[in-house]
Structure 1
Amino acid sequence: MQAILSPPVVRPQIPTYIYAVVFSSLCIVWGLLWDIMWHMSIGRDGLFAPPHLLMYVGAVVAGLFSGIKILQLTFAKSHAERTHSVRFWGIFYGSLGAMYCVWGALTMLTSAPFDDWWHNTYGLDVQILTPPHTVLLVGMMTVQFGAMIGVLAVQNRVANQPAVGSRAEKQAHERLAKRLKIMFTVAAGLLLSILYTMLAEKLGEWASHHSSSYITMGIAFPFFLLSVGRASPLRYPITLTAAAYMLTMLIPSWILPFFPATPRLGPVLNPITHYQAFLFPLLLVVPGFVLDKLLHRFGKLNDWLLAVLTGTVFILVITVVQWYFGAFLHTSVYAQNRFFLSTSMSYSDDPGWPYHHAFHPHWLQTMPAFLKGIGIAIACAIVSARLGLLWGNWMKRVQR
């Protein structure tokens, strides 16, 4: 008698578009940071300035690869991945991540001529969140969210499929799962980098002794960090995501100042000759590690109780860390080097201004006012943490 062979097991693989959109996400973040440093060092840019081109590459690659994937799933009815896709507009099939990437890429490319018109009409930006930049940032975050969700869907499918077969097949399954965990951490760190950059004007070291900075942190970061911590199967996902964000932020600021740059737009108060670095990022890795530990120990608590615990601890830890580290960055001579970036100064800044390395009175508070602000920050962080846990519960179930 002939043995009856069981059908081969279809094992999940990482689609090519997943690699493409994570690469695109990196191009977008570094393009944005380069653009900020371009504005600090050179001033006026054009529609096709090098930093813009890097961002456009990210948008085009993300939109193109995701669009091709959607068309494959739409027209190839026997495609193995179609069972893990969602239908939209009654016609198209695709993963959630691919759809977000397409929408984000279109938004980014739409913002480009809008930004060029804005510069031609109103001149140089003095803020990060101008209307065209807001449209651009929404597109960027949509692409990056799509990358993160795309990786997460494959990661969840792999996690739900047990490793079976020969030893080699089990090892291949483990390698695939490990690669997906790393890619999810990288994608989450890149999205966190954009979130921080969007809020950087309120989070610089000059604001580290003002409660408004911690209120902003309490609103923005517990939501994101706890959603990642709840969704990722890694042992220390929040810590690793925060580390990925710090490296993403620091690498361009460490490298670009070695390259020449001279201002092209006046007034030039600080005649620089090289690129000026962006800010040293917040030390989110410290509260991130504490949050990971809390999730290990109290992860099975009611989510409201867990939100109260994690939100409160996040604000207390980040306040202590940034109060002292922000003061070090802003006032210490030991921070005035290329590592800590405190020598960075835009060409339009007056070198003689007395508050380059001292706290401006506007950014100082009395202790009662500061403590009141920290109380508000804790309340905001608790709500943010609860929403983050809720969002993380949804992300754990994403498989499409």
Structure 2
Amino acid sequence: MAINRILIANRGEIALRIHRAAHEMGIETVAVHSTADADAMHVRLADHAVCIGPPAAAESYLNHAAIISAAEVAGCDAIHPGYGFLSENARFAEKVEAHDIAWIGPKPEHIVTMGDKVQAKKTAGELGLPLVPGSDGAVSDPEEGRKIASEIGYPVIIKAASGGGGRGMKVCESEDKIESLMSQAGSEAKAAFGDATVYIEKYLGNPRHIEFQVFGDGNGNAIHLGERDCSLQRRHQKVLEEAPSPVISDEERERMGEVCAQAMRDMGYRGAGTIEFLWEDGEFYFIEMNTRLQVEHPVTEAITGVDLVREQIRIADGKPLSVAQKDLEFRGHAIECRINAEDPFTFAPSPGKVTYYHPAGGMHVRVDSGLYAGYSIPPYYDSMIAKLIVYGRDREGCIMRLRRALEEMVVEGVKTNIPLHRELLHQKDVLHGDYSIKWLEEWLESRED
């Protein structure tokens, strides 16, 4: 079937990003929104808008019935979930398809497989992706935990099988602590995700976070679009991302990219996906796969010239991939800064009215945002209000352009983390690309001393 009208089941900058891609393809858009988002930019720009509930996400952006009803009433052919909210909810994807509406995302069974970390690790191993040494599945008995830990060597990390964001994760340095830490991790996981299941892996001391963007047509054809380095993180939340990684060679990119693409061919994967790895001492270790579009997808678009949202819509419409692996070229360097409405160093959220807004501009500078002067940032959702993406011919030039763009960008009326990004881009380790997933938290602690 031909997609002529898409319901965007999201809000903020990603809803606007989807709207723009759809309009460039001649496709109409329907925005859904909570009462708190009635004045949001994506609501203003969409062809049609439907209010689906009160501010609480559970009653609006996570409300299956309200969203599908809106799609049917508005005559939509497809639903695009963006990222977050329902983007990795297999039950919702099944309901969408059961209503004869195209789901702009992976097959529901692949969302299920990769959403369970134990099953994801098992599947990844079967697909030939390199794994962190650890348990074959869930571990419930402390004696079994001790046996596995002694085999792979301390330190180990105990992880929740469901969820993420650092909850249900405990690092164990010695055998005498494994029972209590397994219990703590299980209790945290149960409270946060309703599932106390945990597993055990080798703890990597100072790794980087490297992820590969993949794309499949659902019929056994798949490509990779290179890697992104997302190692600058705070509490497992990404702050700044770049592509390509400063530490990955062309040979490593080609080898690991092909391993990822082949895994997606073997799965029959459909749409956009990201395979995430920890990288240390030249070795990749699979962490998880995100079966959706990533926040940081623009840096990949910058170095490949491929519009990933457009590609998602094409695939959902039954069309083939628009680019072959042999035709993909990786050119230049791109960096994305996540701009959040929060104190730049305490990270306390700062919702409120934007009194003045001036986005950065100039050659190869992109700002994805729904901000405007007079807009009130609601307190109910994620604090990210914009993404600043800059491209350069090389990494050094990209950093210089990004510094200039951060100097230009102004958001008044609320606090933002723009000062944090400005400071980061003057740190020697960042300039040299010499950082790991622990670097940012350690640097923030050193600033306080």
TM range (shorter): under 0.3
TM-score if structure 2 supplies the norm length? 0.25
TM-score using structure 1 length: 0.27
The answer to which structure, 1 or 2, has the higher relative contact order (CA under 8 A, 6+ apart) is 1
Looking at secondary structure, tell me which structure has more helix per residue: 1
Larger radius of gyration: 1
